[in-house]
Structure 1
Amino acid sequence: MDFLTIGGLLVAFCSVFLANWLGGGEVILLLNLPSAIIVIVGSMGATLMQSRVKDALDAAKLLKWSLFPPSYDLQKARLLVGTLSNKARRLSLVSLDADIAALGNSFATRALQMAIDGADPDMLYERLHDEAIRIRDKRQSSISFLESVGGYAPTLGIMGSVLGLIQAMANLDSPEALGHGIAVAFVSTLYGQGFANLVVFPIAKKLSNYCDQELLYNQLLIDGVHGIAIGKHPQRLDLELSGYE
């Protein structure tokens, strides 16, 4: 589990409540269920209107990376490629068939299987490269879905504030109730800005970084499998892969 995500959220929200408390504000005024509903549910609803069901499902699946991130160990992958390269040079490319199940990565498994099956190395390189880009584009579509949620949130927050002011104006004959109502009304604006800039956009940025790592990892595998397929010397292949960091 990525405790930085949880820790970051706690620090961000605690800073808001602390600033409100130090300024003499009442904490209870920051807790408003109608504001949360119009900002969070409204933002998601607006985003769903512009998207497909598949986009929403893919975004929900990718969202779990914020708490349970994937691991892309480039050094380990480089050592694995070196081991496979040495084995293929000593025995044969077909001998690597027994190592496919141990790779533990679907992309690496397909790449090595295609090489063992005798695919043309250059065509293999191009197909794998295109697949890696497609995977990256698919992830980015999910991230764009989340960013759209964050983009709508501030506007929905303003709408919530306007709605709250309309309700507050109904209490013009009671100055005390009017002041309380106006204070609560502006909580929606705070929720909209906070939800977008303290939750959605930071998580989207983190997911984008993981996508960059995944693409780099897959590119290392592509270069490694291509080198093995064309019979490149293991030491030369390892030297070429040393640039991946």
Structure 2
Amino acid sequence: MDFVTLAGLIIAFSSVLLANWLGGGEVILLLNLPSAIIVIVGSIGATLIQSSIQEAIRALVLIKWSLFPPVYDFHSTRASLNNLAHKARRLSLLALESDVEVLGSHFSSRALQMAIDGTDPELLADRLHDDAVRIHDKRMKSVTFIESIGGYAPTLGIMGSVLGLIQAMANLDSPEALGHGIAVAFVSTLYGQGFANLVIFPITKKLTGYVDKELLYHQLLTDGICGIATGKHPYRLELELNTYE
């Protein structure tokens, strides 16, 4: 689990609660279920209108990366590629048949199997590059879906405030109820801004970093496996792959 994300969320929300408490506000006024519903559910609904259920499902899967991020061990992968290069040079590409799964990902297994099967190195490089870009683009669509939720949240917060004010105006004959209603109405705006800027946008920034790192990792695999397929000297390949971090 990524405890940095969890700690960031706790600190962000705690700062709001602390500021409210220091200003003499009541915490209970910040807890409003209707405001949460219109901001969170409304924002998700608006985003679904512009997207598809498949994109929503992929985004739901991807958002788990914010707490359980993927691990891309560049150092270990470079070492494994170097070992494969030495083995292929000492024996042959066919000798790597038992090592197809050694790099531990579907992308690498498919790439290595294609190399072993004798795919032309240039064609192999093009296909792997296209696959890496395609995976990256698909991930970024999911990030965009999540980011859109944050884009709608502040507007939905204002709509919630307007609805709250409408209800408050219905209590003009009761000053105490009117004041309380107006206070509650503005909670929706707070929810909209907070949900977007303390949750959604920071998470999408983090997810974008992971997606870009995945693309770089796939480029490392592409260069390494294509280098093995062309019979590149293991030490030269090692020097070239050392630029990937």
Q: Counterpart of 2:178 in structure 1: which amino acid?
A: L
- What is the CA-CA distance between 1:176 and the residue it aligns to? 1.1
The 2-side partners of 1:208 and 1:72 are apart by 15
- In the alignment, structure 1 segments of 5+ residues that lack a partner are none
2:28 alignment partner in structure 1: 28
Q: 1:103 offset after TM fit, Å?
A: 2.2
Q: CA deviation at 1:238?
A: 0.5
Task: Give the aligned residue type for 1:103.
Answer: L
Report what 2:202 is aligned to.
Answer: 202
Give the structure 2 partner of residue 180 of structure 1: 180
Q: Distance in 1 between matches of 2:174 and 2:103?
A: 71
Amino acid at match of 1:41: V
- The amino acid that maps onto 2:221 is L
Alignment match, 1:214: 214
Query: Which string of whole-angstrom CA distances, capped at 9 and with x for unpartnered residues, describes residues 125-171 of structure 1?
Result: 00000000000000000000000100000000000000000000011
Counterpart of 1:71? 71
Cα deviations by residue, 1:29-52 (Å, 9 ceiling, x for unpaired): 000000000000000000001101
Residue 171 of structure 2 aligns to which amino acid in structure 1?
N
Query: Equivalent residue for 1:124?
Result: 124
C-alpha displacement at 1:75, in angstroms?
1.0
Task: Tell me the TM-score normalised to structure 2 length.
Answer: 0.99
Distance (Å, rounded) in 2 between the aligned partners of 1:64 and 1:17: 26
Is the 2:77–2:103 Cα contact (8 Å) retained in structure 1? Answer: no
Instruction: State the partner residue of 1:108.
Output: 108
Deviations 1:72-130 (A, max 9, x none): 01111111110000000000011011111222111100100000000000000000000
C-alpha distance in 2, partners of 1:178/1:65? 44
Counterpart for residue 49 of structure 2: 49
Q: Which residue of 2 aligns with 1:147?
A: 147
For residue 197 of structure 1, report the CA deviation from its aligned partner.
Answer: 0.5
Which residue of the partner structure matches residue 137 of structure 2? 137
Please, what is the CA RMSD of the aligned residues?
0.6
Task: Give 1:86's aligned amino acid.
Answer: H
Residue 99 of structure 2 is aligned to residue 99 of structure 1: yes
TM-score by length of 1: 0.99
Q: Which stretches of structure 1, 4 residues or longer, exceed 3 Å deviation after superposition?
A: none
Q: Report the number of matched residues.
A: 245
